[in-house]
Amino acid sequence: MSRHERSPNMVEASEITAEAAPVGEPAIPAAPVKRGKKKLVLVGIVLIALVAAGFYGKEYWETGRFMVETDDAYVAADITLISSRVQGYVAEAPVGQNAAVKAGDVLLRLDDGDYRIALDVAKGRVDTAGKTLLRIDAQTKAAEAGVAQASAMQDMAQAQLRAAKTNSGRVSQLANGNIVAQAQLDKAVEALDTATASVASADAAVANAQAQVGVLHAQRAEAEGTRHELELAAKQAQRNLDLTVLHAPADGTLGSFSLETGDLVTPGARLGALVPLKSLYIDANFKETQMAGISQGATVHIRFDSIPDTAFEGRVASIAPATGSVFSLIPAENATGNFTKVVQRVPVRIDIPQAAIDSGLLRAGLSAVVEVDNRTGAAAGKAK
């Protein structure tokens, strides 16, 4: 059926609209189909939003509301500062910057010439002190022999005194009976006095010899003390010599360690740092308002900025006994007229799982985001 054969009632709406449009103006197309599509899209968006809201709401109710999160968390390590205890010039530096070392590896050798000389001098003094003791021992033996000799002379003098006393008594009796002359009595008395003086002299000789032995014993004790001091000085010289070789105190990686041959090293000066990359941990600083649900042993979900696509599970190792501000170099003084309350943070140490450490991507100082599950840990166990 041609267009001219159609009845007026069968004319399409689009044609009517086009014919009804004023001359010179474009025809307005019909819009019911587009409005239907928009409604379907809106309904779909609303359904997706409701599903997402339900999913995340369920996730929050079951898990999210129990998670305590902070991004104020950093990888840390018990870093050992490397320094020398003796002064000297660098003779050799076998290891370089960022080198991995084992405990006992040689990090540095200093010029040890002066320390070897000091050790030789100290050992020489110890040898001299030993010879002094030998001399005193020989003198002591001679003095003891003198004591024995003086004792023998004392015995002889006492024997002579006894003989003189006997002779004097006999002569005195004979003289009383006018049997002997007075001259014989005088000789007997003189011999008695001489014997008495000899005994006194012998006693003094024994005492002097014994005193000499005592003096030598005191000298030996003094010499032993001196030798002990010299031995300690020799040990210190040996220790100083040993300290010219600097060893790694533990396993780790050297950082900020760059020394060249000829550099002067002074005692206590920081030469570098040893970072134990196999024993890293996290220091997370939680707000005081978050601490109620955190306890030792709690499960922690960890994400590292250096490993963004992997989540790890750790444990709360310990909680600091005070806030970070208490341990600062200059603690805040709140007892002033101008006071502003600031939410404090408490450091919490978190163990890093071995899988994260073995990845080799962690370094001390890197950032992390941690979430503590307050349904776990010591506090949760007590609550149950």
* Sequence ranges of the domains in the chain: 67-78+275-383, 113-242
What's the pLDDT at 193? 84
- The reply to whether CATH 3.40.50.300 applies to domain 113-242 is no
What's the pLDDT at 4? 43
**Pairwise CA distance, residues 269 & 94, whole Å:** 19
Q: What is the mean pLDDT of each run of 10 residues along the chain (384 residues)?
A: 44 42 51 68 80 66 72 95 95 92 95 96 96 94 90 87 82 73 77 86 90 94 96 97 95 90 94 93 94 90 93 95 83 70 91 94 95 80 56
What's the pLDDT at 28? 52
**If you write DSSP's letter for every residue of 11-55 in order, what string do you get?**
--HHHHHHHHSPTTSPPPPP-HHHHHHHHHHHHHHHHHHHHHHHH
What's the pLDDT at 2? 43
What's the pLDDT at 329? 75
Instruction: Look up the pTM and report it.
Output: 0.67
DSSP state of 269: -
- The reply to whether CATH 1.10.3080.10 applies to domain 67-78+275-383 is no
254 near 97, Cβ under 8 Å? yes
CB burial readout 183-208, b (16+ within 10 A) else e: eebeebeebbeebeebbeebbebbee
Strand partners, 285: 347
CA-based nearest residue to 378, from 303, 318, 336: 318
What's the pLDDT at 121? 97
What's the pLDDT at 36? 72
DSSP state of 339: -
What's the pLDDT at 325? 83
What's the pLDDT at 8? 44
